[in-house]
Amino acid sequence: MASFTGNALKDVYKDILHTSNSNTGISTTIKQITCGDGDNTALYLSNRNAKVQPSADSTTNTVIYDADGNALLAVDSTNDIVKAGIGQHTVNTQYHQFGVFDFSPTAGEHHALMNNSWMPEVTVYTGHVNGGAWGGTGTNPATSLTLASASHELVPALWITQGNITIDEIQYIMGSDAASTINLHIMQYDIVAGAGSTAGDLSNGVILAQTGSASDSLSPIATGDDRVSIGTLTINTADVTSGKVIIAFAEASDTDDMTINLNIKYHLR
């Protein structure tokens, strides 16, 4: 390691780190650390706190390694996330589930899946609001809902976000009691809050993810009694703001009973 020993100050002063504090040293006021020729570092210090603030963002703004050189903690100021562990996972990663168990669909209808729970019996939940499967029979689910009846069938489908999130991956696990194909959609909506006559109405629907490369290029998943179909959805829009509603839909090609488990991996932002 290099040393100042035997060197004149003029030959090493640029390598000396210090605070510009009128020769009073470290105080309660945080100061940026500079080198001897006035160049700034990303480090700020006082006798009470420390701060790291780069002059430009980086995916490896601050990194802590183990002795073998494996990154254990990394601050990514470009994407505003912090990763930790050997696998470098986002530290506030969360998981959310939608699903149905042994559900009898109507062919071609978009059925809303249950949020974060499983049905013990198929007779418990139909998802029928206003007299039917409100997701409709179009290529993609309906983008709005004016609630008139059966609000108790809508509630189990709703996931209202309580913070800004970014969706990282959506995994599906599906089976059916006979050969079928199933399209899946993850939708985002605005919802009317409160307890007024319009509370629960949905509007401004956006497709966050689906089976297939895009909402106009769907690729239904083959299911059957002889297999468990496993894969991931294509994410169109990853960022969801606080207060939005997320609903998952399944559209089957026939009436064969289906069981679906959707796992959404996301992180807070």
Which stretches of the chain drop beneath a pLDDT of 70?
Answer: 1-2, 117-123
Which DSSP helix (H) or strand (E) runs through 151? helix 151-154
> Which pLDDT value is given to residue 22?
81
Strand (E) or helix (H) holding 154: helix 151-154
pLDDT of 244 reads 98
Long-range Cβ pairs for the range 215-220 (8 Å, 24+): 215/139, 215/140, 215/185, 216/139, 218/139, 218/183, 220/181, 220/182, 220/183, 220/251, 220/253
According to the model, what pLDDT value does residue 2 have? 63
Q: pTM for the complete prediction?
A: 0.83
pLDDT of residue 90: 85
| Per-residue pLDDT at 179 | 96
How are beta strands 62-65 and 50-52 bridged, if at all? unpaired
Structure confidence at residue 117 (pLDDT): 61
CA–CA gap between residue 47 and residue 151 (Å, rounded): 58
Residue 167's identity, in one-letter code, is I
**pLDDT value, residue 118:** 57
Q: What is the pLDDT of residue 200?
A: 97
